[in-house]
A = this chain, B = another copy of it.
């Protein structure tokens, strides 16, 4: 996008005069601090009741590891997104009994199906600040030593916590090294599938509608958590009994409308909102544009490599899809950050903080640390082109990456498991084997050479001090040498054979390291560079862990001086966001309502996936058989709704609650305009997309009936306005 100076000047002019934000992924413990904001949004409870993880409703909110879920009955019934349970549904599907296509409904608990040995329900029961313990040994150290001291203290705290069986523990870092917390989670390992709608409801619209609004997806599924007869976590067993949670959410039976209060709790993965203005600038001015440019170039390379080779085209279809997806995401994030003027605003915030800090007593050390942190960040920028290209040489290849993985595993296998580099521990070996096998189906020599030729040409064009000597040694330092090296490497390697790759995986580390295969030799040479860069990275990471807290203290102190609370960037810990049901004006003259209806399902229906609504659904819509779940204002059945809640990856399945903490929906996606929200929350464009609990109830009452689960949740069985009596009706 070429922006003329005039268009750039226009930016500021079009900025909205005021933008009231409900921004924030708050730690539950912070909610009393923002009580007035929550009450302003319409919250009717006491924020203190939300701040204790051992009490309802927060103790009802659980992690599935990657997704969020919540208990909705005293019998351990858990609700989450259909897409979060996709693996479990697939695992239990056969060609004859295809739960993906047909959905699943266990008539009784005995009919519930194991979600598989890897499925987890994680109930956070402790969240304890242990900053002093973690930093005790690090204080006074710098760089790598600081990093290692924090790591050692964290590992010790985790080991101590996990000494009690049935728990998974971790140390999490808040505000980039400012605070450390020990998180303890009860690890429930017997998870069973209770109810899932057909895929054509659960992921109606699928990839085509991904990130889109208006949306019409019934993205919900029910699990049940089981524990041993002693009430403690246990592997799947017929003797296990339903887990009795300390709390469960009540499903609302009331209506929703634009402007209503909403809040959401969950485990958002990662955000970057507290990064420095220099990092924002790097992201907007270099990382994202260069990613767009490089992904476009790599797509060109694949195209050249697969021209006139239909077989190679098929082999690289997945990689092309992934490159296109990365390109699209990067472009969307770039457009969003530019539209929100994220860099300019972050600079304004930093300048305001600096001015405030200058007026504080004893601020000299903080100011010095902030300056030092900036230097460390700038030092990483100096090698960003090199790091990007060097990383892609391995990430975008099949055989070279296989060789690199085999060499690294041979190196790491020489250490005790706990000391191995992350990604090369015992538990990672199955994944590595799968990748080594998969390489077979995704490889064509001409394409891999074309991809490397593209990356190597760019590497050769770097300033000499950025070039990696090992890369030049392996691939040559001019175009002719590179061409010859690539021809020779790929002509002579035996790694194109799956058997050979698996033989090396099983071989003695010393034998691997001594391999004379040219690609294995190349990987051994490149590994020297990798190890050197990793050491530099860890030293830098240690320094930033030491220095960033000064920046955060400045930011938090300045905010407090203005009466504003500051939430830490997301880090997969439990967070709460509050706001309201809100429409969106994505573009000039376009307005999106915050509630979609079943009429939209019919409009999108083509009979071809992903728009192949099942006949029972279409028939129920045609009958207008909505009962108590009908929206009184719209006169029809709603499907999804939109809020301004603050979410990111990991919030899938998060319970959306009303002003009194009752479940009104499940979070499952964001809109495309919000793709840049991991860096900047822009209230004009940031929305979250939820499945309406009324649609879930309607599907379970009228379309694919599950009266036993409705009863268990204390919900009306038949669309009557009064809840039916639970328990007995479910026949248990």
Give me the interface of A with B, judged by CB distance under 8 Å: 1-4, 6-7, 9-10, 13-14, 213-214, 216, 308, 587-597, 599-600, 602-603, 605-608, 613, 615, 618-619, 621-622, 624
Give the residue name and chain of the B residue nearest to A310 (CB): B307
11 contacts between A and B (CB under 8 A): A2-B606, A2-B608, A6-B622, A10-B621, A14-B602, A213-B589, A214-B587, A308-B308, A587-B600, A588-B603, A589-B595
Once the chains bind, are B618 and A7 in contact (CB under 8 Å)? yes
Closest CB in chain B relative to A313 CB, distance in Å: 12
In the assembled complex, which residues on chain B have CB atoms less than 8 Å from the CB atom of A592? 589-591
Once the chains bind, are B602 and A10 in contact (CB under 8 Å)? yes
Give the residue name and chain of the B residue nearest to A624 (CB): B13
Q: Tell me the complex Cα distance, A266–B7, Å.
A: 38
Closest CB in chain B relative to A208 CB, distance in Å: 14
Closest CB in chain B relative to A61 CB, distance in Å: 28
In the assembled complex, which residues on chain B have CB atoms less than 8 Å from the CB atom of A3? 605, 607
Give the residue name and chain of the B residue nearest to A605 (CB): B7
Once the chains bind, are B589 and A214 in contact (CB under 8 Å)? yes
In the assembled complex, which residues on chain B have CB atoms less than 8 Å from the CB atom of A13? 621-622, 624
In the assembled complex, which residues on chain B have CB atoms less than 8 Å from the CB atom of A1? 606-608
* Nearest 10 Cβ contacts at the A-B interface: A588-B600, A2-B607, A214-B589, A6-B618, A589-B593, A10-B622, A591-B591, A589-B596, A6-B615, A6-B619
Once the chains bind, are B607 and A597 in contact (CB under 8 Å)? no
In the assembled complex, which residues on chain B have CB atoms less than 8 Å from the CB atom of A213? 589
Give the residue name and chain of the B residue nearest to A7 (CB): B618
Give the residue name and chain of the B residue nearest to A593 (CB): B589
Q: Tell me the complex Cα distance, A608–B2, Å.
A: 7
Give the residue name and chain of the B residue nearest to A589 (CB): B214
Closest CB in chain B relative to A204 CB, distance in Å: 13
Once the chains bind, are A599 and B14 in contact (CB under 8 Å)? yes
Once the chains bind, are A603 and B587 in contact (CB under 8 Å)? yes
Closest CB in chain B relative to A327 CB, distance in Å: 16
- On whether A618 and B214 interact (CB within 8 A), knowing A14-B599, A588-B603, the answer reads no
In the assembled complex, which residues on chain B have CB atoms less than 8 Å from the CB atom of A621? 10, 13
Q: Tell me the complex Cα distance, A608–B600, Å.
A: 34
In the assembled complex, which residues on chain B have CB atoms less than 8 Å from the CB atom of A590? 214, 590-593
Give the residue name and chain of the B residue nearest to A598 (CB): B588
Which of B2, B9, B600 has a CB less than 8 Å from the CB of A589? B600
Once the chains bind, are B4 and A607 in contact (CB under 8 Å)? yes
Closest CB in chain B relative to A548 CB, distance in Å: 36
Q: Which residue among A2, A10, A213, A595 has the maximum number of chain B CB atoms within 10 Å of its CB?
A: A10
In the assembled complex, which residues on chain B have CB atoms less than 8 Å from the CB atom of A9? 619, 622
Q: Which residue among A4, A589, A595, A608 has the maximum number of chain B CB atoms within 10 Å of its CB?
A: A589
Closest CB in chain B relative to A619 CB, distance in Å: 5
Q: A6-B615, A10-B602 are in contact. List 7 more A-B contacts (CB 8 A).
A: A3-B605, A7-B605, A13-B622, A214-B590, A588-B597, A588-B599, A589-B593
In the assembled complex, which residues on chain B have CB atoms less than 8 Å from the CB atom of A596? 588-589
Q: Tell me the complex Cα distance, A600–B599, Å.
A: 29
Closest CB in chain B relative to A581 CB, distance in Å: 13
Q: Tell me the complex Cα distance, A591–B583, Å.
A: 11
Give the residue name and chain of the B residue nearest to A620 (CB): B6
Q: Tell me the complex Cα distance, A622–B588, Å.
A: 16
Q: Tell me the complex Cα distance, A137–B452, Å.
A: 82
In the assembled complex, which residues on chain B have CB atoms less than 8 Å from the CB atom of A597? 588-589
Q: Tell me the complex Cα distance, A9–B594, Å.
A: 28
Give the residue name and chain of the B residue nearest to A617 (CB): B6
Q: Which residue among A214, A591, A595 has the maximum number of chain B CB atoms within 10 Å of its CB?
A: A591
Closest CB in chain B relative to A589 CB, distance in Å: 4
Closest CB in chain B relative to A454 CB, distance in Å: 21
Closest CB in chain B relative to A512 CB, distance in Å: 42
Give the residue name and chain of the B residue nearest to A616 (CB): B6
Which of B2, B214, B308, B608 has a CB less than 8 Å from the CB of A588? B214
In the assembled complex, which residues on chain B have CB atoms less than 8 Å from the CB atom of A10? 602, 618, 621-622
Q: Tell me the complex Cα distance, A453–B316, Å.
A: 32
In the assembled complex, which residues on chain B have CB atoms less than 8 Å from the CB atom of A602? 7, 10, 14
Give the residue name and chain of the B residue nearest to A639 (CB): B588
Q: Tell me the complex Cα distance, A454–B592, Å.
A: 45
In the assembled complex, which residues on chain B have CB atoms less than 8 Å from the CB atom of A593? 589-591
Which of B599, B618, B624 has a CB less than 8 Å from the CB of A4? B618
Q: Tell me the complex Cα distance, A603–B10, Å.
A: 11
Give the residue name and chain of the B residue nearest to A12 (CB): B622
In the assembled complex, which residues on chain B have CB atoms less than 8 Å from the CB atom of A2? 606-608
Q: Which residue among A1, A14, A308, A594 has the maximum number of chain B CB atoms within 10 Å of its CB?
A: A14
Give the residue name and chain of the B residue nearest to A602 (CB): B10
In the assembled complex, which residues on chain B have CB atoms less than 8 Å from the CB atom of A591? 590-593
Give the residue name and chain of the B residue nearest to A622 (CB): B10
Once the chains bind, are A615 and B4 in contact (CB under 8 Å)? yes
In the assembled complex, which residues on chain B have CB atoms less than 8 Å from the CB atom of A615? 4, 6
In the assembled complex, which residues on chain B have CB atoms less than 8 Å from the CB atom of A618? 4, 6-7, 10
Q: Tell me the complex Cα distance, A216–B13, Å.
A: 19
Closest CB in chain B relative to A440 CB, distance in Å: 27
Q: Tell me the complex Cα distance, A77–B649, Å.
A: 60
Q: Tell me the complex Cα distance, A585–B280, Å.
A: 38
Q: Tell me the complex Cα distance, A596–B589, Å.
A: 6
Q: Tell me the complex Cα distance, A7–B598, Å.
A: 12
